[in-house]
Structures are given as C-alpha cells and as structure tokens.
Amino acid sequence: MSAHTEPRFLHRMPNIPLVEDAWEEIDASELVDVPLLGTVSAGMPMEVCADNETVRIPSRMVRRNTYALRVRGDSMIDCNIHDGDIIIIEKLESAENGETAVVLINNQEVTLKKVYIDKSGVRLQPANTTMPPIYLKNDDIQVLGLVMGVARRPANTPVNAA
C-alpha cells in the first residue's frame, strides 16, 4: 500500500455509465507525465486558464491524446469526481448521450458535465441533485474530451507536496 501522501488513481471501467462506482483503483506504477492544462469548473462555467504543468499518472491511463485538468466545484460528486481532484481526459471532439465531458461554451468558458443532445439542443447535466442543468444550442458548445480517470490526493495534502 502506498504512503498516505501519494495520490490514488481511479480508472474508468469500460462500457458502463460514469456513476460513483464506475471506477477501479489502479496501482501507481509505471508513472508517466501528461500535461496539466489548467482548471475546469464542476459548477458554473469559468474562463479557460492554462497552466504549464504536468502530472504523473499510471501509463495504462494514457491514450493517444491524454491531458489532465484540476477540478473546481462539486457539480460532479455523484460521479465520484470531487473538488480538488485531477481528472484524466482523452481528447475527443464528440460525446455520446450521458457521457461525462469537458465542454467549451461559446468559445470561452469550460465546464465538466454530463452531455445530453437532442433536436432541441444540449443539456449539460450536473451529477449533483442540488444543481440545475444548463441548456444551450448545439452550436454553442464544443466537446474537448471525455473523463477517463481521476487522480485524488489524500485530504489535507498540499498539491505541490512531493
């Protein structure tokens, strides 16, 4: 078992919806660096802010175009994604209905939500029953990637702790 200061790595299990128990914990072995591109809001959409950092994750979590984002907010807690988590994203430009995706709104704000698309438009659904969905037109959003994993630091551990 790793020390309590090490992050836990949760990998999304294939072919099931992203819910609280849709994760498997994997060993922190064969770590590789992926770009940590900034912060994504799990709440109200926020402006994109880029960081030039990297985060070390297990190599089996890495796909062709993998990057990481730090989560701010509690809108995805029912998917077991919490404020302060680092989410591992596979860069994709489309999402199936119900997928948890990083979405760019009006080319300026980024948010993390479940995406539902139909003829009338797009519903960005939080995974938190206390928060309302966001309704937009199809042309207002662009999918930036899907959540493939989570790196979670133990509580009360500084982000830059070795």
Active site residue 114: no
Supply the pTM of this predicted model. Answer: 0.75
pLDDT tens by residue, the chain, 162 residues: 444 567 777 777 666 556 556 677 777 778 888 888 878 877 666 555 566 788 888 888 888 889 999 999 999 998 889 999 999 999 999 999 999 999 999 988 889 999 999 888 999 999 999 999 999 999 999 999 999 889 887 764 444 444
Known catalytic membership, residue 59 = no
Q: How many CA atoms lie within 13 A of 45 on its CB side?
A: 22
- Which residue is catalytic, options 29, 41, 59, 75? 75
- The secondary structure of 10-63 as a DSSP string is EEEPTTS---TT-EEEE---SEEEEEEEEEEESSS-EE--EEEEEEEEEGGG--
Phi, psi of 24 (to 5 degrees): -125, 135
Classified as helix, coil or strand, 119 is coil
Q: Encoding tokens for residue 88?
A: 């591992």
Catalytic residue among 113, 114, 120, 137: 113
Return the beta strands (E) in 42-161 as ranges.
Answer: 46-47, 50-58, 66-72, 86-90, 99-105, 109-118, 121-125, 134-136, 141-152
HSE of 161, CA atoms in CB hemisphere, 13 A: 12
